[in-house]
Amino acid sequence: MCAVALRVLSELEGAEDGAHFETHSLPWGSEHYLNTGRMLPPLALETLAGFDAILFGAVGSREVPDHVTLWGLRLAIVQGFDLGVSLRPAQLLPGVRGPLAGRGPEDVDLVVVRENTEGEYSGIGGFTRRGLPGEAAVQTTIYSHDGIARTARFAFELARTRPARHLTSITKSNASPHASVLWDEVVAKVATEFPDVGWESVLVDAAAARLVLAPQDFDVLVASNLHGDILSDLTGALAGSLGMAPSANLSLDGSRPSMYEPVHGSAFDIAGTGVANPVGMVLSAALMLDDLDLRDSAERVRRAVASACADGVLTPDVGGSATTGEVADAIVRALSS
């Protein structure tokens, strides 16, 4: 998928001031792990810190457990660089048939803002009596005032730029009387800084039901790490397929490169068949262009993707019969038209 995104970037070379791309491919991932026992080399973060941005492809292997891939690679970068927010837009494009009957592009156009370094992904916990009778595990959830506040503030600022000016805070404070209650309190405090943005707090289970029944009710959703992860899979599906869903892991102070990746992971059932959907990766590159202040180029990419979809050049996951290469060709043609 990265190859398609890089092809798109090459088409944008020189399109506007600053649109010059020097890229380096780093062979880290499951094959590196199988050869070395590590997902990343020892100085990986120091290497990555020298770049302006990171494009991160789908990773995974049947030979490597998912938790090894996640913690050894993606979360090592996210937490190592303190990429505090994961931005996950979902938009049903013309030409793509969504899963909800009677719902069109005007009904699905929303963004999940996911807290990205804390919560259930803090990595704090352990096992006792491992492999013995009575084996148990403890996983500790960590929410901090500062982590919640910076995520909420980013989400409110984003909501302020969108026509609806509406934010939904996702929580589970009826069952989580400490962490989620802190979440609610901090979000409510941050909300006072944004009197021009309407907002509500919704329990995560109710939000999941409402997203299916009335997706048009939502604009910007802000959620904890786990809730945001789960709901962004749902919103990606509402946009037609997880293959359509981009994301950005953002360095909020700009001190480290942000990382851009499709929401989906590896799809072993179609690996090597040439029909994987490249749209999520291409739209992730558009998010990168936004943050590199190449907004005209980013909009060109989005228009090109929308044009390819409207013309019916779709991979099988969204009801088409096109190959990955055919979708890439259609996007590039639209860019040059």
Interval 274-323: pLDDT, tens: 799 999 999 999 999 999 999 999 999 999 999 999 999 999 999 999 99
pLDDT tens digit sequence for 215-271: 999 999 999 999 999 999 999 999 999 999 999 999 999 999 999 999 976 666 666
Nearest one of 172, 249, 270, 146 to 278, comparing CA atoms: 270
How many angstroms separate the CA atoms of 95 and 310, rounded? 4
Is 205 a catalytic site residue? Answer: yes
Q: Which of 204, 86, 203 is nearest to 147 (CA)?
A: 86
Clarify whether 317 is annotated catalytic: no
Residues 232 and 256: their CA atoms lie apart, in Å, by: 24
**Local structure of 215: helix, strand or coil:** helix
Of 66, 146, 205, 296, catalytic:
205
Q: Which residue of the set 121, 143, 219, 290 is catalytic?
A: 121
Checking phi first, is residue 173 left (phi over 0); if not, alpha (psi -120 to 50) or beta?
A: alpha
| Residue at 82: amino acid letter | D
Q: How far apart are CA 240 and CA 260, in angstroms?
A: 20
Q: In the predicted model, what is the mean pLDDT of the chain?
A: 94
**Catalytic-role residue among 109, 143, 219, 229:** 229
Task: State how far the Cα of 254 lies from the Cα of 291, in Å rounded to an integer.
Answer: 10
18 pLDDT tier (thresholds 50, 70, 90): confident
Q: How confident is the model at residue 272 (pLDDT cuts 50, 70, 90)?
A: low
Q: Residue 248's closest CA among 30, 83, 90, 39?
A: 83
Which stretches of the chain are assigned E, i.e. beta strand? 53-55, 85-91, 109-115, 119-128, 136-142, 166-171, 198-203, 220-223, 246-250, 258-262
C-alpha–C-alpha distance, residues 100 and 240, integer Å: 9
pLDDT confidence of 46, banded at 50, 70, 90? very high
* DSSP 8-state code for residue 243: G
pLDDT attached to residue 15: 86
For tokens 């959830």, the residue is: 141
Angstrom CA distances, 321 to 226, 325, 336, stand at 34, 12, 23
Give the pLDDT confidence of 131-153 residue by residue, as tens digits. Answer: 999 999 999 999 999 999 999 99
Of 33, 172, 219, 290, the catalytic one is: 172
Distance CA 307, CA 309 (A): 5
Q: In whole angstroms, give the CA distance from residue 202 to residue 166.
A: 13
Determine the pLDDT at residue 113: 98
Confidence class for position 63, pLDDT limits 50, 70, 90:
confident
Query: In order of start, what are the domains of the chain with their CATH numbers?
Result: 1-83+244-337 (3.40.718.10), 99-238 (3.40.718.10)
Confidence of residue 206 (pLDDT cuts 50, 70, 90): very high
pTM for the whole structure:
0.94
Mark out the alpha helices in 103-250 (DSSP H runs): 145-161, 179-191, 204-213, 225-238
Of 14-23, 57-66, 278-287, the least confident: 57-66
- In single-letter form, the type of residue at position 302 comes to R
233 a catalytic residue: yes
Q: What is the pLDDT of residue 265?
A: 67
